[in-house]
Structure 1
Amino acid sequence: MIFIPLWQRLLVALVTAGAILLALPNLFYSRVEQANDARASIETGLSTTELEAQAGQWPSWLPSGLINLGLDLRGGAHLLAEVQVADVYASRMDSLWPTIRDALAAERDTVGFVTREEGPPAELHIRISNPDRAARALEIVRGLAQPVATVTGGGASDIEVRAQNDILIVNLSEAERTATDDRTVRQALEIVRRRIDEVGTREPTILRQGADRILVQVPGVGSAQEVKDIIGTTAQLTFNPVVQRTTNENADPGPGNILVPSLDEPGAFYILDRAAVVTGEELTDSQPTFDQNGRPAVSFRFNAQGALAFGEYTSAHIGEPFAIVLDNEVISAPVIQSAIPGGNGIITGQFTPEESTNLAILLRAGALPAELTFLEERTIGPELGEDSINAGKTAAYAAAVLVVLFMIASYGIFGVIAVVALAINIVMIFALLSLLGATLTLPGIAGIVLTMGQAVDANVLIYERMREELRRGASPVKAVQEGFGKAFSAILDANVTTFIIAAIMFFVGTGTIRGFAVTLAIGVVTTMITGVYVSRVLISLWFARTRPKTITV
């Protein structure tokens, strides 16, 4: 009899039972997914009888982890967006203006009065009333320059200043533009990721491509437009002082001001101070809510810096209108009734419940630093994913049938044991994919099919060693023990080298290559477990039951 410690047998049994439980939800994919979504909605406070019924479709005491299906299996949206990095230059000039204005105003006796003049968006034009002291004004503004915050900048200043008669012209240096472009794309990438994660989409692919492009692939959505509505909105929120309300769309706002249309009042426009008191960057939270009249609204909360600025401004301008501007539209312009020192507030407007929820998500995730231009967009229908799954199933079934026939024809009862171990191997792969929340793609299915061949290859090595021992006259028990013992080193070497290759493909490759590498690496681990330990336990159980005097391999 083949001796295997009791703890090893129990461990194999527990691991096999655990793998079956973890893989089980994938047999009821739609039901479990619907139940998981319903539970997530209930946890966020959206509890209804329908949601509770959906949540009860799958018992809560059973595992509910699912394998995430990739874009090629499930369908979804594919988008390629270009970040308009030049948009940031204008906002940088707007943010610089208050600092420069205050610095020059401190030496008004020397340089005279200063006003902002209209100029190109990427330049800040400042008129000084005493042009004879332009050199001093240049010195003051240049003293505000900061080193470029990147290694590639080489210690260069972030701004360049020159004088043209009584006008100072400020713009970003070339080094700062390069650094700004990189920061803008990185920030846009992170905000796109946060926005999609807030919606709860499963396993999106969000990657930077080239210098200023972002690739977005979101499985399981109905159309690319759904994704564009979430990630394409800039959601730049500012709180600006109101200078004047007008119905003249061609009104001259004057230096330092901007003309912005009203969102809720057709034909109405507001002239606003270009310099915002606070911006959406200082928000720490936003949630959909309802106002005192029961209409959908969005509540918000500032960080300490934003709350201080907001409180100081509202206390000093009681009785004056204050505009809330979202993406260059005034969504609300309430009159300040009293100081608001806590940094909390509410945004009202003609929102639907869905619009208030989406706006809260956008504000909570953060504003895009620049507009996204979509260069490429495709909706991959679920029918294509269904075809891919069917093709993958056909390939897997065909491979499984051929492997089963070969092993049984070549090794008889030991071939049957190898097939049982192979089935447990596949179950373990699905269990680990579910436990890790990994994404399964069509190349991933190819990795599973390849694992089938590798898994039985371990059994082939063991069985051939057993044949050699039997030809030497060894007893059945001795042949089995020697077969497993002598083949182990070869099996280990083969699987370690395969795992190293899979790891390299995962860390170096992208997209489909990584999907293949994941299932291949997991298959290596499960093959070591089933090809050696599970097979050995199964053979020992067979020996204990039949007690054969001779065996044929």
Structure 2
Amino acid sequence: MHRSNFITRLRVALAMAAAIAMPGAASADAQLDKMRAKVAAFIAEKMEKLGGSRVVYRVDTDGLREAVVAELRDDVYKTLREGRIAFSGLAIRDGRVEVNIPDAKGREQLTRKLASAAEGLPTHALAVTGSGDGLIRLAPTEAASAARLHELVDDCIAMIEQRLKDAGVTLASVQPEGTDRIRIFLPGMTEPERITAIFARKVKVSFRQVDLSMPAEQAQRGAPPDGTEVLLGIKDNKPYLVAKHSALDGDDISYAGPGFASGTKEPVASFRFNGRGTRRFAHITSENVGKPFAIVLDDKVVSAPEIREPITGGSGQISGNLTLEEANSIAMMLRAASLPGRLGLVEQQVVQPAAKP
């Protein structure tokens, strides 16, 4: 095989490795691992010949623990309210969720429902302890915490691959290192700070109300109303007059991924909110039926659908003549915005080519 063709195929392979597996692809994870292994082997060979940059990041394990416990508290609150279980003192203390439930049947009902929700989900297994006076404490098991960390590292790797691809960096290897670190090799690149600059800030996602008091084009030419600004569409540069204040942000997203619309089968980016986001989104959509609502990614409007009815299920879709690659890219940015904490830079260095024998 011609060398340039081989490099081209591996570049395509790296781009494919950044994609999220579509539903129904049973062996997608195994195929992705094999693809990454092939890319890593090729990149290692290129690093020996060309040298390049080595960058190591550490995921924010403290931020992950805080996010997981906060999510657990929201789940406990939702379960208690839906089950009409009397309680008091729901709080986070020492990395655990505490709640006082005087009625023994209420305590049993809570733990049973939480256990049922976690069934088959290793990342959601709980350790529950009680003091005998109605106070119970809940926390993720060690195995669940380890599974969550593994999941976070995988999400970060996918996000890094996608953002490198979006930045035009197609020749790179992104691999886990230990339990909480991620290693990036970039053959031929002698300025690692160019790469670290890409990840120096967190992706900013916001959900904002669209102002209909005046045409966006008029606001763009003159002065927009107080509390608003004009942002452009991510694909068509169409102006949108939106509120400066964000009604929801990326921290409220619990999941995002590409998929296909059920009716048209067109590519979409689907997302789902956490408990807090679900409640806020339900309130916002109930108050603004018939009005457009902008989804903004890094100050670019990716979609501004009209709210047709209250959305109480906590999920939505971004559509609008997207390619599958665009849907995947948008979903990855939404996931990046919801990742707990930030990537911490551990090391960046220039690697010299191996000496010739």
Q: Indicate the TM-score class for this superposition, using the shorter chain for normalisation.
A: 0.5 to 0.7
Structure 2 counterpart of 1:282: 256
Structure 1 counterpart of 2:59: 83
Structure 1 counterpart of 2:185: 217
With over 3 angstroms needed to count, the CA separation of the structure-2 counterparts of 1:218 and 1:190, relative to structure 1, is same
Structure 2 counterpart of 1:303: 270
Alignment of 1:235-384 (within 5 A): 235=203, 237=205, 276=252, 279=253, 281-284=255-258, 301-303=268-270, 315-318=285-288, 338-339=307-308, 343-344=317-318, 363=333, 366-367=336-337, 368=339, 370-379=341-350
Percent identical across equivalent pairs?
15
* Conserved? CA contact 2:205–2:249, under 8 Å: no
* Conserved? CA contact 2:159–2:332, under 8 Å: no
Q: Distance in 2 between matches of 1:73 and 1:316?
A: 60
Alignment of 1:172-183 (within 5 A): 172-183=140-151
Q: Distance in 1 between matches of 2:90 and 2:191?
A: 46
Name the SS of the counterpart of 2:102 in structure 1.
Answer: helix
Which of 128, 132, 139 matches 2:108? Answer: 139
Map Cα deviations across residues 325-369 of structure 1 (whole Å, 9 max, x no partner).
98xx9999xx997437873379xxxxxxxxxxxx95961774545
Q: Distance in 2 between matches of 1:142 and 1:100?
A: 9
With over 3 angstroms needed to count, the CA separation of the structure-2 counterparts of 1:91 and 1:301, relative to structure 1, is farther
Structure 2 counterpart of 1:503: none
With over 3 angstroms needed to count, the CA separation of the structure-2 counterparts of 1:224 and 1:374, relative to structure 1, is same
Which of 78, 81, 96 matches 1:123? Answer: 96
* Conserved? CA contact 2:52–2:188, under 8 Å: yes
Amino acid at match of 2:308: A
Q: Distance in 2 between matches of 1:272 and 1:364?
A: 13
Alignment of 1:357-436 (within 5 A): 363=333, 366-367=336-337, 368=339, 370-379=341-350, 388=353
Q: Higher strand fraction: Structure 1 or Structure 2?
A: 2
Name the SS of the counterpart of 1:79 in structure 2.
Answer: strand
Q: Distance in 2 between matches of 1:207 and 1:169?
A: 37
What is the TM-score with the length of structure 1 in the denominator?
0.36
Structure 2 counterpart of 1:99: 75
With over 3 angstroms needed to count, the CA separation of the structure-2 counterparts of 1:339 and 1:314, relative to structure 1, is farther
Map Cα deviations across residues 54-94 of structure 1 (whole Å, 9 max, x no partner).
xxxxxxxxxxxxx9883354453211222222322222233
What is the TM-score with the length of structure 2 in the denominator?
0.52
Map Cα deviations across residues 14-68 of structure 1 (whole Å, 9 max, x no partner).
xxxxx7xx46x79xxxxx99xx9xxxxxxxxxxxxxxxxxxxxxxxxxxxxxx98
2:86 aligned with 1:111: yes
Q: Distance in 1 between matches of 2:110 and 2:251?
A: 18
Could you tell me which runs of 5 or more consecutive residues in structure 1 were left unpaired when the two chains were aligned: 1-18, 27-31, 37-66, 242-263, 286-299, 347-358, 389-441, 447-553
Which of 146, 151, 176 matches 1:208? Answer: 176
Map Cα deviations across residues 493-521 of structure 1 (whole Å, 9 max, x no partner).
xxxxxxxxxxxxxxxxxxxxxxxxxxxxx
* Conserved? CA contact 1:198–1:361, under 8 Å: no
Q: Distance in 2 between matches of 1:275 and 1:86?
A: 16
Q: Distance in 2 between matches of 1:157 and 1:223?
A: 43
* Conserved? CA contact 2:174–2:184, under 8 Å: yes
Name the SS of the counterpart of 1:111 in structure 2.
Answer: coil
Amino acid at match of 1:138: R
Name the SS of the counterpart of 1:303 in structure 2.
Answer: strand
Shift of 1:272: 7.3
Q: Higher helix fraction: Structure 1 or Structure 2?
A: 1
* Conserved? CA contact 1:81–1:375, under 8 Å: yes
With over 3 angstroms needed to count, the CA separation of the structure-2 counterparts of 1:236 and 1:182, relative to structure 1, is farther
Name the SS of the counterpart of 1:80 in structure 2.
Answer: strand
With over 3 angstroms needed to count, the CA separation of the structure-2 counterparts of 1:178 and 1:343, relative to structure 1, is closer
Could you tell me which runs of 5 or more consecutive residues in structure 2 were left unpaired when the two chains were aligned: 12-41, 210-230, 232-243, 260-266, 321-328
* Conserved? CA contact 1:314–1:336, under 8 Å: no
Amino acid at match of 1:76: G
With over 3 angstroms needed to count, the CA separation of the structure-2 counterparts of 1:82 and 1:169, relative to structure 1, is same
Q: Distance in 2 between matches of 1:231 and 1:211?
A: 20
Structure 2 counterpart of 1:427: none
Q: Distance in 2 between matches of 1:198 and 1:331?
A: 15
With over 3 angstroms needed to count, the CA separation of the structure-2 counterparts of 1:235 and 1:170, relative to structure 1, is farther
Shift of 1:100: 2.3
